[in-house]
Every structure is written in structure tokens, then in C-alpha cells.
Chains A and B, each alone.
Chain A
Amino acid sequence: MNRTIKSRAFKTTIVAAAVMGVVGVAQARDQIRIVGSSTVYPFASYVTEEFGAVTDYPTPVIESTGSGGGIRLFCNGVGEGTPDISNASRRIKSSELERCEENGVTDVTEVKIGSDGIVFAQSSSNEALDLSLEQLFLAVAAKVPQDGELVDNPYEKWSDIDASLPDRKISIYGPPSTSGTRDAFEELVMEAASGEMEEYGEDGYTDIRADGAYIDAGENDNLIVQRLSEDTEAFGIFGYSFLVENPDALIAASIDGVEAEPEAISAGDYPIARSLFFYVKNQHAEDVPPLYDYVEMFVTEEMIGEDGYLTDIGLIPLPEEERDATRQKVQERTGLQASDLN
């Protein structure tokens, strides 16, 4: 009887060992691994799908981890378990690049693919609206200057900020603090506008009000869009591609007199716009053979050009000479230097 138990236990051990054994087997990888920004994700996944369909390589895997999370994974080191590409809706920070280098990731190529605008939109049942960056800031900041002092934001209606604005309650659905869109909004709206006002001092001010006028609507921009069609008084903050998809339901406010149009965003006239990037780990180019095939497909005119497939789904193309510069960089696999980041 004792023996039966032992042989059973032995078998279980073997099964367990077999499961663990599968794990240990390392394999040469021809599947590219990509992490990073949720803003770049729709564009990158379009290209990966195309890549999987027209080449003999498997479709690359993309995880949407956010720009910061992606770069952290990317900079964990060189080797099979680490991602080959990190998408980012902002430029890599020099502190992040330093960490990369400390971990042995020393040869990184930066690829700029296009721009994205952040829109401030409302239900299309409303009148069109023009806001200045400052008015937008005053509507969302936690503390605002009054008579030379910072006080808790007293504005309840848009007309409280400026008599020319509509007599509507301030109610804004926006991204939560974990979102890259929120980071960009804080930088491009909050910091830019507060930098102009001396009450805030040198560093800029990025605290968003928490008295109910700004409503954290979660990472899913679709939810914001849906809420706007029900709550017609409210505004929403989200990426340009969601505006393109809902032309019947939404209209965007123009900012400082500039409409959220592709040309204005691309040229940098629209103030709440940012560039989209991805970073390639050149040290993986040999071990992951399809790596540069994918990168080259991404930067073709067919994808990121004026009439490219990605513009159909909301990417705002770079001006022509910048697209050429991007392709040049990819061709030469130019390494990114710390000095480039200032």
C-alpha cells in the first residue's frame, strides 16, 4: 500500500517537473514583442496585423501598457524576455534613457510616426465654442488666481470665467491620472497656461480640481463619448481619433481660435498636440529577424503618409520632410543619444 502512494506521488512530481520543463526551454524568437502607449496602440496594431498577413512571420504581440510602463519594461535589459519595441505618446525622458543604458540597452533608435491632438469636445447639439488656453485652464485647475492670490476654484459656470462664454455648468469628463492623455493635457494645457500667470511661480501648476466639475471617466475613451451624447451640457477630453469616429455626435471646441483639424495639428498650430513615437532596441535586430522589416513597413508612405491607412483611423501625418527624416533614421538605425533629448 505504501508503494502505491509513493508511485502516485512520484507520478505527480514528474507531471509537475514536465510543466516546469516546458518553461525552461528557450526558443529563437521570430515574433516581435511590443509594449507601450495606449494612444499609439491602435496604429501599431494595424501595422502588426498587416505585417502578420502579408509576411510569413507571426503577427507581433502588442501590449497596451501606457507610455511610462512600456519604457520601463523596454529598459529592463537586453534579451529574449524583454520587449523589442516600446510605443510612446511622448518622448523618452533622459532619466529613462539613463536607466536603459544602465541595464545594457545602449543602442536605441527613435522613430517619430505622427501626431495626435487632444480634443475638448461636446455633444453636437450645442453651439460651436472657442476657448482660449487660459479659459480652459481656469475651468479645470484646482486653485485659480484672484486678486493676486491663489484660491479654490470658484467657477461653477463657464460664464463665471468670461461673460462671453455660455451660461452652462462646468462639467468635464476626462482621463484619470494614470493615462498618457492626462499627462499630455497637464503638460500642454495646465503647465503652458499657468506658466503665463505669475501667481503660480516658476514650475507651472498641474493640479486638477476635485470638487466634481472634473469627472474622472476612466481609461476607456468610448465611455466619455457615450456620456457626452447623454449629458449634453458636459465636455470631454480625449484623443483626436475618437472625434473622427463620431463626426455626427461630437463637435470639438477650437482652442485659441484654432480648430482641431489634421493640418493644424500636424503643423503644430493647434496647441494641444503631441508627437507619437516608438523606440527600437537595435541590439535585438539579429536575434529577432523580422524586427526591422516591421519598422520599415511602419514608416512607408502607404502607412504614415498623407493618404496612408493610419490616417484613415485617426493618425495625423507628419509634414513630408519629417517623414523623410524618419525614414532616413530607420535606414541608418541611428542611435539615440542623451544629448538629443534636450
Chain B
Amino acid sequence: MSQSFDVISSQLKKRHRRSARLKWISMSALGLAGLFLVLFFADMLGKGLPAFQQTYVQVELEYTEEASRMGRAAMDPEVARLVSRTFERLIPRMIRDNPDLLGTSETRWVLAKSEVDQYLKGHANKLRGNEPELVDELVEAGRVDLRFNTTFFSRGDSKMAESAGILAAAVGTVMTLLVTLAIAFPIGVMTAVYLEEFAPDNRLTQLIEININNLAAIPSILFGLLGLAIFINFFGVPRSSPLVGGMTLALMTLPVIIIATRTALRSVPDSIRHAAFGVGCSRWQVVRDHVLPLAMPGIMTGSIIGLAQAMGETAPLIIVGMVAFIPDVSPSFTQAATVLPAQIFTWAGEPERAFVEKTAGGILVLLAILIFLNASAVLLRKKFERRW
């Protein structure tokens, strides 16, 4: 207190300058992070939005005898060059399944091949000869049109970009996550309840605790190797199935759920437990009727974040065979399926240019789901959280 007023005020100025500097540095860090995010989103939206539109072409179909052997024959040969092979190859089957069609004709909007689509979107394409003029003419006549891409949401993977969709991968993701949730949630919560409410604090439980924290930090690919060795090679779970994928991801999600649950349980004040014990509740009743319900929002939040993390995972699934070409929607938990990030990974490696927008489109869908999951985790916490 012996310092003169001048000294103090000069120090004060310096200290204020420092805090202003700190503020600016942290603000620019935030700004930089924001900039990266905006650039990433802008890039993805720019590349991915066209994927939600697809070119269709109007054709007259004549179901002749010849068309029942070779689909192409049902169409005007000029226009047939613009039609996707995914439609053309189905014509013989349509006639076989419904013989009444034979001899009739109809006008229909069908998928155009991806080259036409890329041409209309102004991307590089491989249209040959007079095809560009032909497309222009048909656009003029209103017979070629860009429409909302329902195929993208109603079909599985395809080698032909125009009919490639995310349905099979989306269903696979849901099935895989159901398995993950069914395994990781009960085991994780029960483990946490035991460790937090019942276990004595000794060397063994400390060891277990350290190991759980360790597990949460292990690179995910190791869980894939574990899944291959134990689930596939030892237990004989079918390769590529949502079952084996879900079990592998459950291993990965378990530590996240255990840690989140323990934190949630710990945040329930002891006074609640003491009061319950005071009126004669058993430990089981205390946990079931008082501690768990109060901790539930925290547990749910942790589990949703754990699942969201598992959902974006590809590395362990490569090892158990889920990164594969699987166009059909998996009919059961034991049959081959793929997941969204794996689908994006597969598309990113395709040579055809048209897959660039599919890849970005897939990323947009995945991001939307992740934002939805994380937002619901935040909302749950906001709505049910109780402060003591």
C-alpha cells in the first residue's frame, strides 16, 4: 500500500492492456474455428446440394415381344441413349412379372443417365456426338427435367450414380445402432451403478476405473480388430452384419456411457440418498426410485453423444466387413448391411465424377442427423436438468 498512485495507475493500464489482448486472441481463435466451419459447410453445401436434384426424361414405352428380351427395344433409340440403364434393364422383368403389359404402351418419366444429369447441372460430362444437342432439344420440349431426387432417399447404393441412394446405408445405421444401444446401454448403466453405488473403494475398483478411462481413449480401429477376433472368428457371428457391427461399436460406446452415467450419478446429492435411507429404503430402492430417475437426463445425454460418436465411425467397421458394396436393404440383423459413413467412404473412392455430389450429399445427410442427435441431447439436458 506504500506504492504511489502513479505506479498503481500505470500498472493498471498494463493489466487492462493484457486483458484486452487476451480477449482479442481468444476471440480470433473462435473466429478462426468459425471460419473453418463456415468454409467446410459452404464447400459441402455447394457440392452436395445438386445431389438432391436429379434429371428425369420422358419416354414412350412400347412393351413389345422384343422389349421383353432387351429392355432398350421398348424405347425410341434416340431417347434410349439418354435413359439410365437401371431402368432399362428392369423392363424385361416388368413384362415377365406382369404379362398383361405385353402389347400395350405408355408415357413415363424415367431416370436419365448421370451424364445427362451432369450436363444439365453444368458439370464435366461424357456426352458423345450429338447427345448434348439432343438433350437441349428435349429440355426445350419439356421432356427432360431436373426434379427433386427421391431416388437418393429410396434406393441403396448403385454403380450408376443416377440411381445411387442412401436408404440401405441409413437402414443399416439404424439397425447397427439399435444393437449398440441394446448392448451398451444396459451394461454401461449397470456397471456405473455398481461402481458408484455398491462397490467398495479398493485397489480392484480403482484398477477397473483406470481401465475404463483408458478404454475411452483407445483408437477405434482396435475395437474392430477385437470384434473380428472374438465375435466373427470365435463366436461365428456373420461378417458384415449389423449384429457384428453393433456389437463392435457397443464395445466402443461402453466406456463413454459408463463415464457419463457415473458423472450423472455423482451429481445426485448425497442428501437424497440419506433421506431415502432415513425412511428405511433398501439400497436397491434408493437406486431405483431416487438416484436413477434423478440421474436419467445426464445418462441419456451421455448415451446419445456416445451413439452419435459411434454413428460416425468407419474404421472398426472396415475390419468387420461392413464397408462393402451392399445395394440391398438388409432384411435381418444377420445379413450384410452397410452404414452411412461407410457409404460416403465408398462413394469418395468412385472414379465417376457424378459421385462427387453424391458423396457431399451423403455428408450433408449425416451432418443433419448428427446435429439432430446432439441438439436433442442438449435439449434433454436443458429440460430435465436439476440444479441443487
Measuring CB to CB, which residues of chain A are less than 8 angstroms from any residue of chain B? 1, 4-5, 12, 15, 19-20, 22-25, 27, 31, 33, 38, 41-42, 45-46, 48-50, 52-54, 58-59, 61-64, 81, 219-222, 239, 241-242, 244-249, 309, 313-314
Chain A residues near B321: list those with CB within 8 A: 63
Nearest neighbor of A241 in chain B, beta-carbon distance: B351
Known: A4-B284, A23-B235, A42-B350. A309 touches B85 (CB 8 A): yes
Chain A residues near B348: list those with CB within 8 A: 220, 222
Interface flag for B159 (CB, 8 Å)? yes
Chain B residues near A42: list those with CB within 8 A: 159, 350-351
Task: Output the residue of B160, B238, B285 with the most chain A CB within 10 A.
Answer: B238
Assembled-state Cα–Cα distance A20/B231 (Å): 10
Q: Chain A interface: which of B50-58, B143-151, B322-330, B363-371? A: B322-330
Interface flag for B158 (CB, 8 Å)? yes
B328 touching A52 by the CB < 8 A rule? yes
Known: A61-B325, A62-B325. A221 touches B351 (CB 8 A): yes
Known: A1-B282, A221-B349, A309-B85. A12 touches B186 (CB 8 A): yes
Assembled-state Cα–Cα distance A313/B160 (Å): 10
Chain A residues near B243: list those with CB within 8 A: 19, 22-23
Q: Select A24's contact among B236, B328, B333, B351, beta carbons within 8 Å.
A: B236
Q: How far is the CB of A265 from chain B (nearest CB, A)?
A: 16
Chain B residues near A46: list those with CB within 8 A: 159
State which residues 86-111 of B face A: CB under 8 Å.
Answer: 86, 89-90, 92-93
Chain A residues near B18: list those with CB within 8 A: none
B183 touching A48 by the CB < 8 A rule? no
Nearest neighbor of A16 in chain B, beta-carbon distance: B183
Assembled-state Cα–Cα distance A131/B93 (Å): 51
Assembled-state Cα–Cα distance A1/B352 (Å): 64
Assembled-state Cα–Cα distance A42/B182 (Å): 36
Closest 6 CB pairs of A and B: A45-B325, A63-B324, A61-B336, A46-B159, A62-B325, A245-B351
A23 touching B237 by the CB < 8 A rule? yes
Q: How far is the CB of A226 from chain B (nearest CB, A)?
A: 10
Interface flag for B126 (CB, 8 Å)? yes
Q: Select B351's contact among A20, A48, A222, beta carbons within 8 Å.
A: A222
Known: A46-B159, A309-B85. A246 touches B353 (CB 8 A): yes
A61 touching B326 by the CB < 8 A rule? yes
Nearest neighbor of B288 in chain A, beta-carbon distance: A4
17 CB-based A-B contacts, threshold 8 Å: A22-B243, A22-B334, A38-B349, A42-B350, A49-B158, A52-B328, A54-B92, A61-B240, A61-B326, A61-B336, A64-B323, A81-B236, A222-B348, A222-B349, A242-B351, A313-B159, A313-B352
Task: Output the residue of B86, B90, B182, B352 with the most chain A CB within 10 A.
Answer: B352
Given A22-B333, A245-B352, A309-B85, 6 new contacts (CB under 8 A): A23-B236, A23-B237, A54-B92, A63-B324, A81-B238, A313-B352
Assembled-state Cα–Cα distance A37/B124 (Å): 28
Interface flag for B213 (CB, 8 Å)? no
Interface flag for B28 (CB, 8 Å)? no
Task: Output the residue of A23, A53, A221 with the most chain B CB within 10 A.
Answer: A23
Chain A residues near B238: list those with CB within 8 A: 23, 81
A59 touching B326 by the CB < 8 A rule? yes
Assembled-state Cα–Cα distance A220/B359 (Å): 14
Chain B residues near A41: list those with CB within 8 A: 325
Per-residue contact bits, chain B 239-279, to A (CB 8 Å; 1 contact, 0 not)? 11001000000000000000000000000000000000000
Per-residue contact bits, chain B 69-97, to A (CB 8 Å; 1 contact, 0 not)? 00000000000000001100110110000
Chain A residues near B328: list those with CB within 8 A: 52, 58-59
Interface flag for B335 (CB, 8 Å)? yes
Chain A residues near B186: list those with CB within 8 A: 12
Q: How far is the CB of A202 from chain B (nearest CB, A)?
A: 38
A20 touching B235 by the CB < 8 A rule? yes
Q: How far is the CB of B267 from chain A (nearest CB, A)?
A: 25
B327 touching A59 by the CB < 8 A rule? yes
Chain B residues near A63: list those with CB within 8 A: 240, 321, 323-325
Q: How far is the CB of A230 from chain B (nearest CB, A)?
A: 15
Assembled-state Cα–Cα distance A194/B348 (Å): 36
Nearest neighbor of B86 in chain A, beta-carbon distance: A53
B89 touching A62 by the CB < 8 A rule? no
Assembled-state Cα–Cα distance A248/B123 (Å): 12
Assembled-state Cα–Cα distance A313/B352 (Å): 8
Assembled-state Cα–Cα distance A248/B89 (Å): 30
Assembled-state Cα–Cα distance A264/B38 (Å): 48
Q: How far is the CB of B255 from chain A (nearest CB, A)?
A: 19
Assembled-state Cα–Cα distance A41/B160 (Å): 14
Chain A residues near B324: list those with CB within 8 A: 61-64
Chain B residues near A248: list those with CB within 8 A: 124
Assembled-state Cα–Cα distance A247/B92 (Å): 35
Task: Output the residue of B85, B323, B324 with the most chain A CB within 10 A.
Answer: B324
A247 touching B327 by the CB < 8 A rule? no
Chain A residues near B158: list those with CB within 8 A: 49
A45 touching B159 by the CB < 8 A rule? yes
Q: How far is the CB of B86 from chain A (nearest CB, A)?
A: 7
Q: Select B349's contact among A4, A19, A54, A220, beta carbons within 8 Å.
A: A220
Per-residue contact bits, chain B 276-301, to A (CB 8 Å; 1 contact, 0 not)? 00000010110000000000000000
Nearest neighbor of B328 in chain A, beta-carbon distance: A59
Chain A residues near B285: list those with CB within 8 A: 1
Per-residue contact bits, chain B 342-385, to A (CB 8 Å; 1 contact, 0 not)? 00000011111100000000000000000000000000000000
Q: How far is the CB of A249 from chain B (nearest CB, A)?
A: 8
Chain B residues near A50: list those with CB within 8 A: 89
Chain B residues near A59: list those with CB within 8 A: 326-328
Nearest neighbor of B345 in chain A, beta-carbon distance: A220
Q: How far is the CB of A228 from chain B (nearest CB, A)?
A: 14
Nearest neighbor of A244 in chain B, beta-carbon distance: B351
Assembled-state Cα–Cα distance A222/B333 (Å): 33
A31 touching B336 by the CB < 8 A rule? yes
Assembled-state Cα–Cα distance A42/B355 (Å): 13
Chain B residues near A5: list those with CB within 8 A: 284
Q: Select A245's contact among B89, B237, B349, B353, beta carbons within 8 Å.
A: B353
